[in-house]
Amino acid sequence: MSPERELIAVIGTGYVGLVTAAGFAELGSEVWCVDIDAAKVARLRRGEVPIYEPGLEELLAKHSERLHFSTELGDALEHARLLFVAVGTPPTYSGDADLSAVHAVVDAITASEGHALVMKSTVPCGTGAAIRRVFGEQGKGGLSYVSCPEFLKEGSAVRDFLHPDRVVVGDAGDWAGDAVVELYRPLLAETGMRAGGECLPASVETGMRAGGECLPASVEGEYLPASAAANGGGGGGALVRTDVASAEMVKLASNAFLATKISFINEIANVCEETGADVVEVARGMGLDERIGPKFLQAGIGFGGSCFPKDVNALKQLAGNSGYHFQLLTAVIEVNELQKRRVIGKLQKHLGSLVGRRIALLGLAFKPNTDDMREASSLVLAARLNADGATVSGYDPVAEEEARILLGGLQLADSPLEAVRGADAVVLVTEWPQCTGLDWREVAEAMRGTVVIDGRNALDSDAVRAAGLVYEGIGRG
Ligand code: UGA
């Protein structure tokens, strides 16, 4: 361990907790990981990684000596000042976030002047203030609190940790916020951002453009201190040091904005279908405007995962609870729900009634490079197809185990070719390379019918058509 690196604790060993632990270990910290799930802790101690996340297993193995796993919060309190909280905050029936796991940690922490809770879990704006109130009521007012929201994407979480666009630290201005900033220092460009939003160039190179806006992270990255690369970092992220409530809102607003961008381009795609335009060309043309940017403009069959659906709804509820009707987010959610079902209409257009038809779903996870099936479009599609009397087969290179549990009525295949055998139509649901790079002549031979619906606009439409198949994407004229 680098002697100057702070020893930390991470509570909750889900994908955020494990990636955070592995990432800080890579930067040189010793990390105590705590989870109430004894079986999971036993697996982690044996070197088994319970989730599929590219690069994570290797990083955990590389730093096994720096990583300790325990079911006892006391171990964390004994060894670390900073307790990163990365427990689940799933949606409740009301759409609000369920904070019971967070409050279990809050209640379990003993009074101390020297410890801080660092909140990584996604929580509603106002949670930090509420927790500080509870600390006061419980006679634990000496505990510090920092909001440090997570922006990792599943499937590229390790890379995202080591190359953050920004690190957001919301705190009351005491030692704990400074300590969290120090932990992230190797991943930061020498540019910070003050509350109020102005850029603070630490040196001429990291400076501002004429007009005053911050340089994009990619530019700042060129000026990353050499020590960062040596530490496995190299991200060059901007630091946003702010108050707790604003940090909490940055997280929710970021996810809500990205989800809005996706629902927006999906609606544009739907209009493209009526007007003969191609949404891929439209998105390319739009994305070149620096104010819009090219990312998250991929039209498809809707967003899923454990974050966007939950967080958009949680922000809508949060606003509603304080008397504000967040109309835009209501539309974002509804557009997404309808988008997941649009494929059914496309299939009916080509096949007529779906009764007795065989439909193959290629890719089942909510996106590639993960085994996560939460809110995946495949769940909605398979259920709708079954309800309409179709037989559904499916393939996923990684999410098979989850799919077996969640998609009882689906015939799981070991390969894409096996999944499409005898199918009247094939739907690309998740753009895994194993599904996009198929030999379409082989697919055509294996199928009974000819329809290919490209739910992610990720296939080579010419290759599909050249194989004698009928290609239809999302919003492609
Ligand atoms: C998302 C955010 O991108 C992260 O910044 C955030 O930290 C994370 O939620 C979280 O709150 O924990 P994630 O859910 O892992 O990350 O996945 P994304 O890559 O954002 O994709 C979400 C969904 O949107 C997927 O179903 C994907 O297929 C869909 N999507 C994404 C589109 O349909 N179009 C796009 O252009 C981009």
SS (H, E, C) 332-389: HHHHHHHHHHHHHHHHHHHHCCCCCCEEEEECCCCCCCCCCCCCCHHHHHHHHHHHCC
Q: Is 13 helix (H, G, I), strand (E, B) or coil?
A: coil
For the question of residue 307 being annotated catalytic, the response is yes
What's the gap in Å between 306 CA and the centre of ligand 1? 9
Q: What is the DSSP letter of 186?
A: G
238 φ, ψ to 5°? -85, 150
Percent of the chain residues past pLDDT 90, beyond the cut: 86
pLDDT at 197 > cutoff 80: no
pLDDT at 421 > cutoff 50: yes
pTM of the shown model:
0.89
Task: Give the nearest ligand 1 atom to 430 CA.
Answer: 28
What's the gap in Å between 65 CA and the centre of ligand 1? 32
pLDDT, average across residues 100-110: 96
What's the gap in Å between 85 CA and the centre of ligand 1? 21
Residues 428, 453 contacting (CB under 8 angstroms):
yes
pLDDT, average across residues 350-377: 96
Summarize pLDDT for 20-36 with one digit per residue, the tens.
Answer: 999 999 999 999 999 99
pLDDT at 2 > cutoff 80: no
Residues 207, 195 contacting (CB under 8 angstroms):
no
The CA–CA distances, whole Å, from 317 to 7, 124, 324, 410 equal 37, 10, 9, 34
| Residue indicated by tokens 């990584």 | 120
pLDDT at 38 > cutoff 50: yes
Q: Is the CB of 252 under 6 A from ligand 1?
A: no
**CA 318 to CA 161: how far, in whole Å?**
28
pLDDT recorded at residue 206: 31
pLDDT recorded at residue 211: 32
Residues 49, 74 contacting (CB under 8 angstroms):
no
Task: Give the nearest ligand 1 atom to 259 CA.
Answer: 24
Nearest CA to ligand 1 atom 30: 303
pLDDT recorded at residue 95: 79
Active-site residue, from 33, 125, 148, 307 = 307
Q: Is the CB of 432 under 6 A from ligand 1?
A: no
Which of 151-165, 218-232, 311-325 has the least mean pLDDT?
Answer: 218-232
The CA–CA distances, whole Å, from 82 to 115, 275, 466 equal 6, 56, 59
pLDDT recorded at residue 224: 30
Which of 179-183, 210-214, 280-284 has the least mean pLDDT?
Answer: 210-214
Q: In what order do the strands lie in the sheet with 391-395?
A: 410-412, 391-395, 358-362, 425-428, 451-454, 470-472
pLDDT, average across residues 310-320: 93
pLDDT at 108 > cutoff 50: yes
Summarize pLDDT for 224-254 with one digit per residue, the tens.
Answer: 333 333 444 455 899 999 999 999 999 999 9
pLDDT recorded at residue 3: 53
pLDDT at 191 > cutoff 70: no
Residues 443, 375 contacting (CB under 8 angstroms):
no
Nearest CA to ligand 1 atom 27: 303
Q: Is the CB of 255 under 6 A from ligand 1?
A: yes
What's the gap in Å between 151 CA and the centre of ligand 1? 10
pLDDT recorded at residue 425: 98
Summarize pLDDT for 439-464 with one digit per residue, the tens.
Answer: 999 999 999 999 999 999 999 999 99
Q: List, in order, residues 6 or more apart from 425 with CB less than 8 Å away.
A: 347, 350, 351, 357, 359, 360, 449, 451, 452, 453
pLDDT band for position 408 (50/70/90)?
Answer: confident
pLDDT recorded at residue 272: 98
pLDDT band for position 190 (50/70/90)?
Answer: low
